Amino acid sequence: MLKKLFHHYDYSMIIVMLLLISFGLIMVFSAGSIWAVSVLDKTSPGYFFIRQLIWFLVAVPIGLIGLIMPYQAYRALVKPMLLVTLVLLVLLIFLGNNVNNATSWFRIGFFNIQPAEIVKITLILYLASTFSNKQKSIDHFSTAVLPPLSVVMLFFMLVWMQPDLGTAMILIAISAVMIVCSGLKMSHLLSLVGGAAAGVAIFFMVFLSDNQTGRFTAAYDPFSVADTTGRQLINSYIAIASGGLTGKGLGKSIEKTGFLPEPQTDFIISIIGEELGLLGILFVILCIAYLVFRGFVTAIRCKDVFGSLIAIGISSMMAIQTFVNLGAATGLIPVTGVTLPFVSYGGSSLIIMVFSICVLTNISAFVNMRRSGNRHEGERENVKAFY
């Protein structure tokens, strides 16, 4: 079986992922070198690069598990994963490390682990398993849709309480895409859309903190708060605009020298734009777009509902997270602290993204095996008919 898998992997996804990671490592070094020395008082300008490289080395064996283990095996692991993730989020309330006014990380030695990243893939596998098991009763809203919705809302609340509104909203968006693709009938979908719109409106009016509300001002009128919350976006504008088409050259950013805070994280696209120009930004977007496209192609070709929904979930996760990150860096949406997949500095995000692409590649291998088998069967039938 393993030998057959190797022959049917979509290696283009692996190659594009490695290109993005390699590019990300280079840009993390470039963007974070001055910040590491001048702000964090580190002796090496490669501080963030070395840590990100270590995270990648950790991600490699985890990714290999995703490549080799048949995706159907995750059905049996969904409940344990759900329980472990829930326990981690609850423990985070009591044992979490507060960074930038958010208790979103466990501090383990020199590294931070962010459970919210694990929630993304856990929810994708859970929803894929639940909706594939309930295909015969998918029209029964109370039994097929309401229970998984309750689980999604539980995880949403636990992530939002950290507070991490960006990741919490991404969880809702991924879940919404998977629910739409699950086969739910139109009347139930329309009811969900109406309820979701009302729920979001109430949530934003009632539960947003002053800090979160201030992010809207910083996004849509940054110059009115230029000395405080608008500073990051304004410097992002300057970085991207000054880069032009081809950029100032790798390592030659001005904004990373103290004007743009923590440039190696969620605003790394601004430094890419400044140093490598629009062409550098397009390279990142096109690479991620290719992975998303191949993911949805795999979902369409996969005849197994479980595998198809996993592929949809992973593809939508990449697309939504990329949109949120780029939207925040360009003022399209408020800043949420969401990483750019494979490129931004962040170990938990990198590991989950690598694992997700490897699982997606595993699904595509099984799809290719089935298509190859059907083609060979058809060729044998044509030979028999000829003779």
Local mean pLDDT, 10-residue blocks, the chain (387 residues): 79 96 97 90 90 96 95 94 94 84 80 90 96 82 82 92 88 92 76 72 67 77 85 94 95 92 93 97 97 96 95 97 95 89 94 97 93 56 36
Of 59, 70, 74, nearest to 14 (Cα)?
59
Q: Is 360 exposed, middle or buried (0-12, 13-18, 19+ CB in 10 A)?
A: buried
**How many other CB atoms sit within 10 Å of the CB of residue 60?**
11
Identify the pLDDT of residue 136: 80
Range of the domain at 310: 2-379
Q: Going by C-beta distance under 8 Å and a sequence separation of 6 or more, which residues neighbour residue 181?
A: 299, 308, 309, 312
Can you spell out the DSSP letters for 272-304?
HHHHHHHHHHHHHHHHHHHHHHHHHHHHHH--S
H or E element at residue 97: strand 97-99
Q: Is residue 247 part of a domain?
A: yes
Helix axis angle for 165-180 and 305-330, nearest 10°, is 140
Identify the pLDDT of residue 1: 63
CA dihedral 106, 165, 333, 219 (to 10 degrees): -80
H or E element at residue 103: strand 102-108
Token pair belonging to 122: 């856990």
Q: Is residue 23 part of a domain?
A: yes
Token pair belonging to 93: 């309330």
Rg (CA), the chain: 22
> CA of 217: how far to CAs of 68, 226, 261, 358, 363, in Å?
47, 11, 18, 39, 43
Q: Is residue 387 part of a domain?
A: no
Q: Is residue 141 part of a domain?
A: yes
Q: Is residue 386 part of a domain?
A: no
Question: What residues does 108 pair with on adjacent strands?
Answer: 111
Q: What angle do CA 53, 54, 58 make, to 5 degrees?
A: 115
H or E element at residue 313: helix 305-330
Token pair belonging to 60: 């490699």
Q: Is residue 112 part of a domain?
A: yes
Q: Is residue 385 part of a domain?
A: no
**pTM, entire model:** 0.92
Please say whether the beta carbons of 179 and 316 come within 8 A.
no
Q: Is residue 153 part of a domain?
A: yes
Token pair belonging to 28: 């993390």
- How many structural domains are present in the chain? 1
